[in-house]
Amino acid sequence: MPHVNNAISTELYTKGFILGSISSVAYSAANVFLRSVDHCDAVWVSCVKAVPTFAIMIPWLMIRYCNGHRKMPSFKAIAVLSLVAVVTHLFGNVGFQWSLDKIGIGIAVPLCLGMAILSGAIIDGLFMDAKPSGRTMVSMCFLIVSVIVLSLGGETAFETLKNEIKAGDASRSLLEWGIGSVIVAGIVYGSFGAVIKTAGRRGVSQPMLMLIISTAGILFLFALSYQLDVFNVPENLSVWNIGRMLLAGLCNTIAFVALVAALQLLPVTNVNLFNASQAAFGAIAGVLIFAEPASPWMIAGILLTIAGLVIMKRK
């Protein structure tokens, strides 16, 4: 267990430690479930994954309503958040899901995580009046190097996984698209963090934010799935596959709620320790469960990602 900041009581730290651990484990479990359905259409997987969040937020908001929390966001706020949701689901969730059978979970998770933290720190410094400390700058250098190293490791994973890819041309360009889609997904996730902060400062509650994001995502991705004719592919509608998509969504919702709660109790530096563990969990799951190659590039990239997250500190 990391050193406890003297300004944090033991009780608060214990709660934060438990919540952070739950978040990391739940995110890792969600990624494993997503990797297990990477043979299904990425748009459809992302659509179904958003359903548990929608289902959980409805009763949560009803309870808040009964307890007197009845403030509704403005129409403009809902419209902006809906647009953000479409971008996040399409370029974040769909892009990440599409890449899993190209570069594997062991490369995709730390690569996406590193880009999310890196882009989030840059956005904080440029637009959120959060001037980065010296340690943050060092951390960002580690993350930049880790992204480069992990990208190099993607080729080894691709060579092992390309026989599983359905696309007729499993060429190097497909590898580049896979790495690129994860990098874009990480940038989108990092930017989404700034949206969450801004919405929270303007009075939009966490469950309301998640309801808007999930609802807009479900509607958009369902319509897109229909256009892509995914409902005529039996494996997309298999009960076993749908179940794993829903479990991924449930784990993702639990992880996000736990992460937000942990951030309210612990400094960002401590919470980053839990985020860093996702990179290791992703690699372990990739090697042990999905027989992905444990290349030196992947191991080095994961270690650099973890080091960067551990070093990071903000005022």
Measured CA to CA, the distance from residue 103 to residue 178 in angstroms comes to 7
- pLDDT bin (cut points 50, 70, 90) of residue 240 is very high
Residues 6+ positions from 3 with CB-CB distance below 8 Å:
none
pLDDT(235) > 60: yes
pLDDT(196) > 70: yes
Q: What is the DSSP string of 220-282?
A: HHHHHHHHTTGGGSHHHH-HHHHHHHHHHHHHHHHHHHHHHHHHTTS-HHHHHHHHHHHHHHH
- pLDDT higher at 267 or 200: 200
Contact 310, 273 (CB under 8 A): yes
The string of pLDDT tens digits covering residues 113-152 is 888 877 877 777 776 666 666 777 777 787 778 777 777 7
Residue 203 region, left (φ>0) first, then alpha (ψ -120 to 50), else beta? left
Angle at 114 between CA 143 and CA 16, to 5 degrees: 110
Average pLDDT over all residues of the chain: 82
Measured CA to CA, the distance from residue 150 to residue 280 in angstroms comes to 13
The closest alpha carbon to 113, from 183, 23, 177, belongs to: 183
- pLDDT bin (cut points 50, 70, 90) of residue 273 is low
CB count in 10 Å sphere of residue 15:
16
Query: How many residues are there in the chain?
Result: 315
Q: What are phi and psi of 40, to 5 degrees?
A: -90, 165
